[in-house]
Structure 1
């Protein structure tokens, strides 16, 4: 475990501002599931996300960011994302170590904390058709809206080359 303190939402916003990326954030009561967050839909336009932090038998980690209602077949998704085996969910300790977030706050913005390049980021092609993508800003008590192309630009600026793949059915 490294002694690096995970970045905060403010660090994230400063980073986005530095890249000239437009973003807006709405604070709300903490939400832990897609079901709990549905109440926010009318207030926050765009594609809302569900994030799956998974690993294969070789301890390669992946973050799948998909539209909230999409279905991912965990029995076969490994064939699409380049995993060495079927995937299982990554442990909360690795989630914190690599992405700087706890379960319930998983987000594509966690790329800002993955300075070691331990995680492969997968953005579902269907989600990326949305003009705006909504993700937690490293905590589940707010939602940050960002352009889908800007999300890719953000990830590239953190040293990640996200894969845009159709991983949902």
Structure 2
């Protein structure tokens, strides 16, 4: 599936920026990849039992307090999901995660959590299912995308360490 074609079918036509592979936010800093808009850190999380999953989008410099977030959301001990779970639920490998991977979650098994600190952001940086490019997804396009995929975003105050 070509994610850009699918987005265009939903009248979402964000700019696409090609670049060397970026596995982490630190990689972008080291390569001095300069892009306008709002940078994101994407964390794929699971509960202690592996029954519930969430994709958390937060500012890249935030150190998330998973214990506090777990209590806040009423989940049993949040942790990072494995590469196998990432592939099973979102169809991407580590380092390729973005909100756009929710297109592969056709059963809506992954919740979308957005840090309240991002509410005034726009032109969100998202990998188009590969880490060699970034699309700049406007706030409006982000909401259109989540509506099309059946993922209602939950804006929440994400605790930090």
Specify if TM > 0.5. Answer: yes
Native 8 Å contact 2:68 2:159 kept in 1: no
In the alignment, what sits opposite 1:4? none
Aligned to 1:138: 129
Gapped regions of structure 2 (runs ≥ 5): none
* Partners of 2:87 and 2:113 in 1: CA distance: 18
Gaps (5+ residues) in structure 1?
Answer: 1-6
Q: Is the aligned partner of 1:34 residue 2:25? A: yes
Aligned equivalent of 1:106, options 88, 97, 102: 97
Which runs of structure 2 are paired with 1:58-97 in the superposition (5 Å)? Answer: 58=49, 59-83=51-75, 85-97=76-88
Instruction: Give the whole-Å Cα distance in 2 for the aligned partners of 1:105 and 1:81.
Output: 26
Contact 1:76 1:86 in 2 (8 A): no
Give secondary structure in 2 for the equivalent of 1:69.
Answer: coil
Q: Structure 2-normalised TM-score? A: 0.91
Shift of 1:82: 4.3
1:19-38 superposed Cα distances (whole Å, 9 cap, x missing partner): 21230111111011211112
TM value normalised by structure 1 = 0.87
Aligned length: 157
Note the aligned Cα RMSD (angstroms). 1.4
Q: CA deviation at 1:63?
A: 0.7
